[in-house]
Amino acid sequence: MSQFLVAALYKFVQLDDFALLQAPILAVCKANEVRGTLLLALEGINGTIAGPEQGIRNVLAYLRQDPRFANLEHKESWASEEPFYRMKVKLKKEIVTMGVPGTDPNSLVGTYLTPEQWNEMLKDPEVVLIDTRNDYEVAIGTFKGAIDPKVKTFKQLPDWVAEQEKDQGVLAAKDGKKPKVAMFCTGGIRCEKSTSFMKSLGYDEVYHLQGGILKYLETVPTEKSIWDGQCFVFDERVSVGHGLVEGNLELCRSCRYPITEEDKASDLYAPGISCPQCHDKLTPEQLVRFTERQKQMELAKQRGVRHVGASLPMRDRVLLEQEENASDSSSV
């Protein structure tokens, strides 16, 4: 039975004192046995946390005591095993890094569409549908007909947009008018910022999926869905499907790409060491390190204890994604 409640949350809001919020939020999370990562910046809050149901409820209630978070929305799902192993509250310059100064969803943003409105919008053949997520996320699932920019991080999206405009790609103007654009992401934060960016470039008709893919999968019945595949999530579940049930994918513990049963049947797959995505990209030093890590994990399993290294790659993936997409120093 699922026993860990997972809450994904974000809110763009001016937080002039965001640094002062770090310590008390961390203390409340730890007191309630809640783990995960929360990012704080001048522009707001972003992150995913998990723990006992009452612990999550307590943390959310604490956050909403601040008038600026009074209407903070979150998305819930359940995990059968603990998705995170530590609690971090980090200070950043952006809660999702696009690296374009002046992009502010609080003052300029696209039009929100509910999942039902989203389905209707995508019936329009003139709509340019853009998946704003990273390539490894798109690889396991996306909306039918969506364009994959094939970006490694969210910061690369503005360059992709510029290339499409310059090279007469999918975003090229026709008869002097920019196309109608619909954008989506996992939980809503990346498409809020990307639609703000598109509006600043002069795109008049820009739409995004309110609540992101997670809200869509939670509320839209399978028979009415135009989603194809699974949705990557940044915790140990790896992916979720319709109804936000846990998916059937695992994670390569070296490159942190999601892997299928077909991948595991490949001669290029070595548990904990490599997969078809990374087998030819690892250095000799990495191979030695990953082989030793896998050996220690197997020994720990035989002893019936958890080896911390088993969770490190996914935790690194969480931090990498949230920090690359949520700070200028290196973001679901």
Contact 195, 183 (CB under 8 A): yes
Secondary structure of residue 96 in the 3-state scheme: coil
Q: HEC string of 159-197? A: HHHHHHHHCCCCCCCECCECCCEEEECCCCHHHHHHHHH
**Count of C-beta atoms within a 10 Å radius of residue 274:** 23
User: For residue 232, which of 171, 275, 190 has the smallest C-alpha distance?
Assistant: 190
Q: How far apart are CA 91 and CA 99, in angstroms?
A: 16
Q: How far apart are CA 16 and CA 34, in angstroms?
A: 26
Q: How far apart are CA 158 and CA 151, in angstroms?
A: 10
The alpha helices in 13-109, defined as continuous H runs, are 18-31, 53-64
Residue 185 catalytic?
yes
Contact 190, 133 (CB under 8 A): yes
**Of residues 29, 185, 252, 275, which has the active-site annotation?**
185
Q: How far apart are CA 185 and CA 110, in angstroms?
A: 14
Catalytic residues, by residue number, are 185
